[in-house]
Chain A
Amino acid sequence: MSAPSSPSEAYAEFVKGIWKENPVFVGVLGMCPMLAVTNSAVNALAMASATLFVLLGSSVLVSALRTVIPKQVRITTYIIIIATFVTVADMTLAAAVPAVHKELGAFISLIVVNCLILGRQEAFASKNTLWMAFVDALGMGLGFGFALFCLGASREVLGMGSIFGVSLFGPNYEPWVIMILPPGGFIMLGLIMVVFNWAKFRKGAA
């Protein structure tokens, strides 16, 4: 941790969060908010942005303070930091986009118990430099956002025949309503994971 990390090292940290160690598809972390708010692409993106904000903010702060926080109280301190960022994100969303905030409801606040964020602080940010922590958080956050978007977009396309509110198939499309209901969340994520697993197996076998 003495020499500044090379750009390729940083890039590797960044990219790992998007695919190889994607927090949702591989780590199966942060599921609660995922399934609840991905009934449309817009909601998914809003949630992903809020989570990215919290992840970046907390990782940077935890990394900056990593020599100062005694390890006995580190988890509590991390939680205080994360909760602060989440509350700020919640208030910002309520002030800026009240309609989206109403849709997401309590799930924004539930970002604070998203094991992804606490996990990154404990596993990475508390042991790495500021820049690396930032890059890791960015990668993980974007990977999370990618997963949320896949889920939200597919559920919205199948369940409402639209994407971002824009109708895709015209008025005669019979929406597959179950997809925007709770069961659809489970099933869609399950199916996406099957595809993900299949891709992994093929790569492994090749």
Chain B
Amino acid sequence: MTASAQPTLPQTKEPSSARLALTLAVAGLVSGLILVMAYEITQPRIEAHRREALKRAVFEVVPGATKLAKLELQDGTLVTAAEKSEGPSVYAAWSDEAFLGWAVSGEGAGFQDTIRLLWGLTPDGSKVQGMQVIDSRETPGLGDRIYKDADFVAEFKALANDPKPEVVANGQGTAPHHVDGITGATISCKAVVNIINAGNETWRSKLPATPAIQAPSGGQP
């Protein structure tokens, strides 16, 4: 009843090593081909998404900007970043008329896990003009208010960098460098400010008031 309909292979003989190697090689090759094809098809969409998200984030933290360019440090001077470079970089943002400022990214330990931020600096670096949380795993309902609480995010729309920004209890902020914290999420708020301070320390001295390069016409990094 279980007679097989397909031609029987001589199962008494062990397949040779060549046969085994061949099978794996063919499998690997076909797999590689399929993956290359899928990659070619999906990559443009993935790249487009990434660029869109970047533009949205930079234009959010540098209000009014419509064009941006990615810059990196080479021997102490800022030059346009190569397409796939992975080193530390900043973004310069322009509106149609003028240079509006820099977008700096940084990361650091939050309450639960690492927080990644993007914030905008005025051209002279004296003030923060916007902040956006790129990545965080803070406690829902508490720490995640660093991006869900509009008031907290708005604290970073005009934050002085000198003296160094610090977090104060909610409602107690008096000076331009004070950030009103979120009750119950002090550590997350402090983490955000620490990340910004550390990033400012690294970058402010290196960012000129006007970048040496011209605004791009297309507006893509």
State the A residues within 8 Å of B (CB).
1-2, 67-70, 72-73, 76-77, 80-81, 83-84, 87-88, 91-92, 94-96, 98, 159-160, 175, 177, 180-181
Contacts and interface: CB of A to CB of B under 8 A. Distances in A.
Contacts of B141: 175, 177
B4 A70 contact: no
B27 A94 contact: no
A73 B20 CA distance: 7
A68 B23 CA distance: 8
B19 interface: yes
Interface residues of B, number: 29
B45 interface: yes
A2 B4 contact: yes
Given A2-B3, A91-B46, A180-B140, 12 more contacts: A72-B20, A73-B20, A76-B24, A84-B31, A87-B35, A88-B34, A91-B38, A91-B42, A92-B42, A94-B46, A98-B46, A98-B49
Contacts of A180: 140
A87 B28 contact: no
A2 B27 contact: no
A183 to B, nearest CB: 12
A84 B46 contact: no
B27 A81 contact: yes
A72 B15 contact: yes
A67 B7 CA distance: 10
Given A2-B2, A81-B31, A95-B49, A87 B38 contact: yes
Contacts of B42: 91-92, 94-95
B6 to A, nearest CB: 6
A73 B140 contact: no
A70 B28 contact: no
B212 interface: no
Given A67-B9, A72-B15, A94-B42, A159 B49 contact: no
Nearest to A72: B20
A80 B34 CA distance: 12
Contacts of A177: 139-141
Given A70-B15, A72-B15, A95-B46, A84 B23 contact: no
Contacts of B39: 91
A175 B140 contact: yes
A71 to B, nearest CB: 8
A81 B35 CA distance: 11
A70 B45 contact: no
Contact of B5 (A2, A72, A76, A80): A2
